[in-house]
Amino acid sequence: MAILAECPACHMKQKAKNKLCKCGEDLDKAKKSRKVRYWINFRMPDGSQCRQAVGSFKGLDPYSIEDARDAESKRKVQKRENRIFDIKAESKMTFKELKEWYLSLEKVKGLKYYPTIQIFLNKFNSEFGSMMVCDIKPVDLENLQAKRKKEGLADSTVDEEITIARTIINKAFDNDLIGGETLKVFKKVKRLLKRNSNARKKVLSLDQFSKLLDNLPLHTRGIVATAFYTGMRKGEIVRLTWDKVSLPNRGIQLEAMDTKDKEPRLIPICDELYGILKEIPRAIHDKTMYSFTMEGR
């Protein structure tokens, strides 16, 4: 068990006695200016390493080394007495543990993007895996966004990492694993990629679209028609499987993990698109096959 100091410049957690951070920040000066936040580093009963912000202890100042020592003493007493932590439910779980719970869900394991989800969550856990879920604050997520941008990642990629983490938080809230305060933290963080920031200005008229459709190869007509009549994104269309298409009910049901903004959508099928989709051959016994066959898929 130890007290850690968070550098106000690079946010690295380190020994509280350090006078200078590796980034060059003068920690002694920052401590006197009350810019250094303190953390308690300790082990859970299962042996996993955890961090808890001093500010999450009721009545304790996160920028006070004296209060940090009080928080450390409290954890030592609880460890010695082998008591369950008398703190919020989400304070008993690190984000790594929450991630493992989420990835073990059968519905999640069945998602086609399961490997991609794992990659993003491993990156997120490299920053927050050992932290108690309730200790993650909006400023921490904003710092992550800034760090990823410095690494040269696109806005959409940065948004994807936090969006997947937010999906876990939403699921955990629905299953009473976390409370509303933690949920609110993840909802506060704004996306970097603004809506319609990459929108195209060219709009086809019905006459232009009709001429285009008549001159397209057979294997791309369904894709283009679906894009025109529904406004679905390219990725949503080419990954569309027949189990999500209900011609009798005239609708396409996309789950949260099928969409770029991670929100489920029910998309109506108009008469024109219905006629095109109805003519596409499909496998009778395999509804999980792609709705459209693309050369070179």
Q: Which of the following CATH numbers is that of domain 91-188: 3.30.590.10, 3.40.50.300, 1.10.150.130, 3.40.50.720? A: 1.10.150.130
Which architecture characterizes domain 206-278 according to CATH? Orthogonal Bundle (1.10)
Fold match between domain 91-188 and domain 206-278: no
Q: Tell me what pLDDT residue 84 has.
A: 44
User: What is the token pair recorded at 221?
Assistant: 């007509």
Q: Tell me what pLDDT residue 97 has.
A: 87
DSSP, residue by residue, 74-95? HHHHHHHTTPPP-S-GGGG-BH
Q: Tell me what pLDDT residue 205 has.
A: 67
Q: Tell me what pLDDT residue 83 has.
A: 58
In angstroms, rounded to a whole number, what is the distance separating the alpha carbons of residues 171 and 178? 9
Q: Which residues, in sequence order, are CB contacts of 219 under 8 Å at separation 6+?
A: 292, 293, 294, 295
Q: Tell me what pLDDT residue 30 has.
A: 92
User: What is the token pair recorded at 130?
Assistant: 């050992």
Q: Tell me what pLDDT residue 141 has.
A: 92
Judge whether 240 and 291 are in contact, CB under 8 Å: yes
What are the extents of the domains in the chain?
2-87, 91-188, 206-278
Q: Tell me what pLDDT residue 47 has.
A: 63
Query: Any idea what DSSP says for residue 55?
Result: G
Q: Which residues, in sequence order, are CB contacts of 64 under 8 Å at separation 6+?
A: 38, 54
Q: Tell me what pLDDT residue 118 has.
A: 87
Q: Which long-range contacts (CB under 8 A, 24 or more apart) does 228-237 make?
A: 228/204, 229/269, 229/270, 229/272, 229/273, 230/267, 230/268, 230/269, 230/273, 232/267, 233/259, 233/260, 235/260, 236/260, 237/292
Q: Tell me what pLDDT residue 102 has.
A: 92
In angstroms, rounded to a whole number, what is the distance separating the alpha carbons of residues 67 and 61? 6
Low-confidence ranges of the chain (pLDDT < 50): 84-88, 295-297
Beta bridge partners of 43: 49
In angstroms, rounded to a whole number, what is the distance separating the alpha carbons of residues 83 and 80? 8
Judge residue 263's burial from the number of C-beta atoms within 10 Å of its C-beta, 0-12 exposed, 13-18 middle, 19 or more buried: exposed
